[in-house]
Amino acid sequence: MSRRAVGAKLEAMAKAKVALLGASGFAGAELLRRLLRHPAAEVLRVIAKDHVGQNVAAAHPNLEGATELVFEDLPAAEAIAGADVVMMGLPVAASLEIVAAAERTGARIIDMSGAFRVPDAASFERYYGSPHPRPELLGRFVYGLPELNRERLRGARWVASPGCFATTIELGLLPLAEAGLLTGAVDVVGITGSSGAGAVPVATTHHPVRANNLRTYKPLEHPHTPEILAALAAAGGRSTGLHFVPVSAPLARGIFATSFVRVPASTSQAELEERYRRRYAGEPFVRLPRGRLPEVVAVSGSPFAEVGFTLGPADGAQRVLSVFSALDNLIKGGAGQAVQNLNLMLGVDERTQLDDFGPFP
């Protein structure tokens, strides 16, 4: 079907009414930028604790004149009243209130927080610092990585959209997991931009400090760790652990991850290239760059992720494979992926409102 025919079909469909909760942050800006022009979705209301009663442009100046929507602060039941889909990025306690309300209304949910990404209550308590209030809900959310769970997402009622670091690392390692090449511990260094820390400034995101600095935080204890391990296990990986060190960098958008994997000495560059190209040949938002390795400037401002690798020389029975992956943390690593999940849930082309290339440089 041509793009024009697809557009005509979408125009004829009743639009899904979408409520955006926690909409005043950077992810909210990206969601609104895409959903306000979405042919199959209509933004019903935007909920936030700040800028209440003000037009969305008060928090998102790029949307000046784009809509008459104003921020509202409403109880859970009122916030989602009339919504077909609820997209939220809220603290755990607030998320649970929304889930309870959605259980009564039947609304579908795309959650962008970490409340429902982890596979079990023990992992949640270890990495998020407190017991999960309703652990029975963890198994009811489909993990929203389309490259792993596309068919499950098409019929999902509730989706837990992945974290930005998690998406970056998982896309780099999925082909290895599926090939049975993840059998030991994986070591990862991930570098991230300041927008991943949210819209409210703190000491470590203050520009005079961040602009000239590299610093690690939560080394070996980052909360995305359990979701990464669970996703790779679901793909067939038998990794014995993940040693993940995140690093904050002086850039606003983007994540660059380097994952070190030990593979059999008989593994060849040609074999890996064929495996990666075959795995991602049909994926609309995963690119394997030609003649270069992944880089943030190539994906910043876009819904694309890039994946590449370098295979080291044999050292006894093994070789070290360095896998590089990069994406925009607010788009493929956040709000854009949530829109991709929404498209799958609505049964429309998953590229809808995501088929743009980022700026360069």
Do 169 and 157 reside in the same domain of the chain?
A: no
Q: Is residue 360 part of a domain?
A: no
CATH (domain of 113):
3.40.50.720
Is 190 in the active site? no
Q: Say what percent of the chain tops pLDDT 70.
A: 96
Do 312 and 200 reside in the same domain of the chain?
A: yes
Do 234 and 318 reside in the same domain of the chain?
A: yes
Do 235 and 157 reside in the same domain of the chain?
A: no
Is residue 324 within 8 Å of 292, Cβ to Cβ?
Answer: no
Q: Is residue 196 part of a domain?
A: yes
Do 147 and 29 reside in the same domain of the chain?
A: yes
Do 70 and 169 reside in the same domain of the chain?
A: no
CATH (domain of 224):
3.30.360.10
Do 341 and 318 reside in the same domain of the chain?
A: no
Is residue 346 within 8 Å of 16, Cβ to Cβ?
Answer: yes
The per-residue pLDDT for 6 is: 53
Do 151 and 172 reside in the same domain of the chain?
A: no
Do 320 and 285 reside in the same domain of the chain?
A: yes
Which residue type occupies 116? F
Q: Is residue 355 part of a domain?
A: no
User: Domain containing 308: what range?
Assistant: 165-327
Angstrom CA distances, 21 to 32, 93, 122, 205, 297, stand at 11, 13, 27, 24, 30
pLDDT in tens, 282-306: 999 999 999 999 999 999 999 999 9
Considering the entire predicted model, what is its pTM?
0.94
Q: Is residue 354 part of a domain?
A: no
pLDDT in tens, 249-260: 999 999 999 999
Q: Which of 20, 29, 164, 327 is catalytic?
A: 164
Mean pLDDT of 108-126: 94
The per-residue pLDDT for 204 is: 83
Domain count, the chain: 2
Is residue 193 within 8 Å of 255, Cβ to Cβ?
Answer: yes
Do 39 and 136 reside in the same domain of the chain?
A: yes
SS3 130: coil
Do 194 and 136 reside in the same domain of the chain?
A: no
**Per mean pLDDT, which of 52-66, 206-220, 229-243 is the most reliable?**
52-66
Q: Is residue 211 part of a domain?
A: yes
Do 97 and 171 reside in the same domain of the chain?
A: no
